[in-house]
Amino acid sequence: MTIADVARHANVSRQTVSNVLNSPEVVKEETRQRVLAAVEALGYRVSAAARQMRTGRSRLLATRIETTQDGMNVFDRFLHGLTESAAGSGYRVLLYTATDDQSEIAAFDQLLGEFEPDGFVLTSTHHGDARTSWLAERDLPFVTFGRPWGTSEAGHPWVDVDGAAGTEAATRHLLDGGHRRIGFLGWETGSGVGDDRKSGWSRTLAAGGLDTDLAMETDGTPAQGQAGARELVERGATALVCVSDSVALGALQVTPSVVGFDDTPVAAAIGLTTLGQPLAEAAARCVELLTDRLSGRPTAPHVLLTPTLVIRKDP
Amino acid sequence: MTIADVARHANVSRQTVSNVLNSPEVVKEETRQRVLAAVEALGYRVSAAARQMRTGRSRLLATRIETTQDGMNVFDRFLHGLTESAAGSGYRVLLYTATDDQSEIAAFDQLLGEFEPDGFVLTSTHHGDARTSWLAERDLPFVTFGRPWGTSEAGHPWVDVDGAAGTEAATRHLLDGGHRRIGFLGWETGSGVGDDRKSGWSRTLAAGGLDTDLAMETDGTPAQGQAGARELVERGATALVCVSDSVALGALQVTPSVVGFDDTPVAAAIGLTTLGQPLAEAAARCVELLTDRLSGRPTAPHVLLTPTLVIRKDP
């Protein structure tokens, strides 16, 4: 089925058919309707390019693929959910790589020029996030998996998982096991995600009238997790809540009563109790918030999901 | 910069500019050159849709994102390399999901109608692969990460990692450690990848005049890895070569002299000696073979890469 068949059926020139698909504004409405009827009657499959020129929509959502050097992040599972949810809404996921905010902004600019994605899904939001400001200034549609953390408080759509609720559940689990001196192994202060996860631990201990002095910062590696755990145990800790499975992996070399965060494959493999993020749901809600905006539908401004404690052994 | 600016600069109508971009065959060559010169002079950025209609190229490469339920596969690292290499050649990666050959073929059909990818990158090739036959019959450009394993022997471009060379290196490593009764824990016979990995173990033992009777099949889980290891050790094995890190994880519960395959994050976390696949290079070579074909350049028919033994403890 070609443009020539459509032209013959509608009794117009091939140029007119091409105009209807590419420059509908130069074609009389009556002619346009006749051509579209012919397209429909013949089942002519409009090419992606023709459709994009007509609708101004590429049906592409762009997202960054993260480096997964230690396999301890959750992004591959999020990406799988994103691809499935996008397809369910008639969109496809376009990938790019970037190493920092500035190179990601350069990627936005290039993608907008070359592939015209309808929207962006951003991950790893952080304080002073230059990416969200750049997109917001240009009024480009986007959603973030992660809260604004102080940036762009004016408000863009976001989906996040409640880290504090997670570490609260972890701390309660250790309290239920009889522990009273419970430490926290975190990241350096200033990371939105890390500070949030720490706050659930401290508020739970404080609510029980217990000390919150057993906290240490790490660089997120198992090595520093192990060193930090050794010091906290020397200072009297009998159990540890950790900011990540990677830190927990190190802490486990020192004491068995450890809870991680993210339910990574490593946690499953070694029997580590940890917090699982509802990643498929997070991805589905990201697609929902973004496609609602693209379709002009009213939508929730943001969604905060609750993680689940995955208990693999006694506290 | 709009089409109107280009039209004014080239002293033609807007419709003519649109024709040059969308239906160049209806425009006189002299006019076309004048418009293109104006486009260049003004730095007018041709939209993706206009470019696609002009060139017939979407600059999109489609690939499936795999479910990574146990985190024991290598696909997320391959996908990262694919995205980086594609961008280096002016292409972007478009994702889709599928659960089996037939649903993947349905995804091809849908993507070709809606997004017109220039080519496909297939993973997880297997005996009787219906996907490669479907694409080859339609003369659609594709490359596979994985050998044809008997399917489509007529030959399509592929990149793979030499599993037999890997298990040969693993077996030699255990022989060098003094082991003489070395077992193999594999998958069920009939899997191309699994049979290939087993062959490197058996040919190395046979070359040394040693028995190859200590082999068992598993379903790939740590549980069956552990059960299989127990039986092989009872039958006299002092060391085990495993078809995957997942199987090796179970075998490690029985004996410390174990080598896995794939260098997953779990292997790094637990200190398992294993075989690492050169995934970034595999991805780069897939992009090279595919874009060479798309550009009509001569190219190698296939590339077989060698894995690296990652030694994490004495054999």
Residue A141 · residue A156 · CB < 8 Å = no
Q: Which pTM does this prediction carry?
A: 0.83
Q: Where in chain A is the domain with CATH 3.40.50.2300?
A: 60-160+279-304, 163-276
For the residues B115-120, what does the mean pLDDT come to?
92
Our CA angle for A15, A116, A110, nearest 5°, is 125
Q: Which two tokens stand for residue A274?
A: 């940890």
Q: What is the pLDDT of residue A152?
A: 54
Q: Where in chain B is the domain with CATH 3.40.50.2300?
A: 60-161+279-304, 163-276
Please give the share of chain B, as a percent, with pLDDT higher than 90: 59
Spatial distance between the Cα atoms of A265 and B190, rounded to a whole number of angstroms: 27
Our CA angle for A268, A250, B247, nearest 5°, is 35
Note whether B26 contacts A: Cβ–Cβ < 8 A. yes
Q: What is the pLDDT of residue B152?
A: 54
Residue B64 · residue B98 · CB < 8 Å = yes
Q: Indicate yes or no: CB of A70 within 8 angstroms of CB of B268.
A: yes
Distance from CA of A86 to the nearest CA of B (A): 9
Q: Indicate yes or no: CB of A23 within 8 angstroms of CB of B15.
A: yes
- Chain B interface, best mutation among A55, A89, A115, A246, by max B CB count within 10 A: A115
Nearest by CB to A71, which of B47, B71, B93? B71
Q: Indicate yes or no: CB of B68 within 8 angstroms of CB of A52.
A: no
Q: Which two tokens stand for residue B74?
A: 């290598």
Q: Higher confidence at residue A258 or residue A29?
A: A258
Q: Indicate yes or no: CB of A68 within 8 angstroms of CB of B50.
A: no
For the residues A109-113, what does the mean pLDDT come to?
87
pLDDT surpassing 90 at residue B130:
yes
Chain B: residue whose CA lies nearest to A67: B80
For the residues A235-254, what does the mean pLDDT come to?
95
Spatial distance between the Cα atoms of B113 and A84, rounded to a whole number of angstroms: 18
Q: A113: which chain B residues are within 8 Å (Cβ-Cβ)?
A: 45, 48
Least reliable range by pLDDT among A43-52, A120-129, B69-78, B286-295 = A43-52
For the residues B68-90, what does the mean pLDDT come to?
81
Spatial distance between the Cα atoms of A109 and B312, rounded to a whole number of angstroms: 43
Cβ neighbours of B310 (radius 10 Å) = 15
Please list the residues that pair with A178 across neighbouring strands: none
Query: Do strands B302-305 and B158-161 pair parallel, antiparallel, or not at all (unpaired)?
Result: parallel
User: Residues 27-46, chain B: which have Cβ within 8 Å of A?
Assistant: 45
Chain A: residue whose CA lies nearest to B266: A266
Q: What is the 3-state secondary structure (H, E, C) of chain B?
A: CCHHHHHHHHCCCHHHHHHHHHCHHHCCHHHHHHHHHHHHHHCCCCCHHHHHHHHCCCCEEEEECCCCCCCCCCHHHHHHHHHHHHHHCCCEEEEECCCCHHHHHHHHHHHHHHCCCCEEEEECCCCCCHHHHHHHHCCCCEEEECCCCCCCCCCCCEEEECHHHHHHHHHHHHHHCCCCCEEEEECCCCCHHHHHHHHHHHHHHHHCCCCCCCEEECCCCHHHHHHHHHHHHHCCCCEEEECCHHHHHHHCCCCCCEECCCCCHHHHHHCCEEEECCHHHHHHHHHHHHHHHHCCCCCCCEEEECCEEECCCCC
Note whether A89 contacts B: Cβ–Cβ < 8 A. no
Give residue B175's pLDDT band: very low, low, confident or very high (50, 70, 90).
very high
Q: Which two tokens stand for residue A168?
A: 């609260």
Distance (Å) of CA B143 to CA B102, B128, B242, B300: 18, 17, 28, 12
Distance (Å) of CA A117 to CA A57, A95, B187: 8, 11, 42
Note whether A98 contacts B: Cβ–Cβ < 8 A. no
Nearest by CB to A114, which of B48, B66, B116? B48
Spatial distance between the Cα atoms of B243 and B102, rounded to a whole number of angstroms: 27
Q: Where in chain A is the domain with CATH 1.10.260.40?
A: 3-55
Distance from CA of A60 to the nearest CA of B (A): 9
Give residue B188's pLDDT band: very low, low, confident or very high (50, 70, 90).
very high
Distance from CA of A168 to the nearest CA of B (A): 26
Q: Indicate yes or no: CB of A269 within 8 angstroms of CB of B60.
A: no
Note whether B103 contacts A: Cβ–Cβ < 8 A. no
Q: What is the pLDDT of residue A149?
A: 86
Q: Indicate yes or no: CB of B49 within 8 angstroms of CB of A45.
A: no
Q: A266: which chain B residues are within 8 Å (Cβ-Cβ)?
A: 71, 265-266, 269
φ, ψ for residue A223 (rounded to 5)? -60, -50
Q: What is the pLDDT of residue A86?
A: 95
Q: What is the pLDDT of residue B68?
A: 60
B8-66 pLDDT, tens per residue? 888 998 888 878 776 777 888 889 888 888 877 776 555 666 666 556 678 999 999 97
For the residues B85-89, what does the mean pLDDT come to?
92
- Which helix (H) or strand (E) element contains residue A5? helix A3-10
Note whether B5 contacts A: Cβ–Cβ < 8 A. no
Spatial distance between the Cα atoms of A310 and B91, rounded to a whole number of angstroms: 40
Residue A62 · residue A109 · CB < 8 Å = no
For the residues A98-127, what does the mean pLDDT come to?
91
| CATH class for the region spanning A3-55 | mainly alpha
Q: What is the pLDDT of residue A58?
A: 85
Which CATH number does A163-276 carry? 3.40.50.2300
Chain A: residue whose CA lies nearest to B22: A22
Spatial distance between the Cα atoms of A226 and B13, rounded to a whole number of angstroms: 71
Spatial distance between the Cα atoms of B114 and A46, rounded to a whole number of angstroms: 8
Least reliable range by pLDDT among A14-28, A43-57, B167-181 = A43-57
ipTM above 0.95, yes or no: no
φ, ψ for residue B195 (rounded to 5)? -65, -35
Which CATH number does A60-160+279-304 carry? 3.40.50.2300
User: Residues 40-79, chain B: which have Cβ within 8 Å of A?
Assistant: 45, 47-53, 58-60, 65-68, 70-72, 75-77, 79
For the residues B247-259, what does the mean pLDDT come to?
95
Sign of CA dihedral A10, A15, A21, A24: negative
Chain B: residue whose CA lies nearest to A96: B83
Give residue A1's pLDDT band: very low, low, confident or very high (50, 70, 90).
low
Q: What is the pLDDT of residue A105?
A: 95
A143-172 pLDDT, tens per residue? 999 999 876 555 899 999 999 999 999 999
Q: What is the pLDDT of residue B81?
A: 92
Spatial distance between the Cα atoms of B2 and B45, rounded to a whole number of angstroms: 9
Q: Domain B60-161+279-304: which topology? A: Rossmann fold (3.40.50)
Please give the share of chain A, as a percent, with pLDDT higher than 70: 91
Q: Higher confidence at residue A267 or residue A46?
A: A267
DSSP A262: S
Mean pLDDT, chain A, rounded, equals: 89
Give residue B257's pLDDT band: very low, low, confident or very high (50, 70, 90).
very high
Note whether B250 contacts A: Cβ–Cβ < 8 A. no
Q: What is the pLDDT of residue B128?
A: 87
- Which helix (H) or strand (E) element contains residue A240? strand A239-242
The alpha carbon of residue A277 and the mean position of all alpha carbons in its chain are separated, in whole angstroms, by 11
User: Residues 205-244, chain A: which have Cβ within 8 Å of B?
Assistant: 222
Q: What is the pLDDT of residue A49?
A: 61
A–B CB contacts, 8 A cutoff, strictly below: 151
Note whether A87 contacts B: Cβ–Cβ < 8 A. yes
B236-248 pLDDT, tens per residue? 999 999 999 989 9
Q: Higher confidence at residue B288 or residue A7?
A: B288
Chain B: residue whose CA lies nearest to A94: B94
Chain B: residue whose CA lies nearest to A77: B68
With the CA atoms of B74, A75, B99 and A274 taken in that order, what torsion angle do they form, in degrees rounded to the nearest 10?
Answer: 90
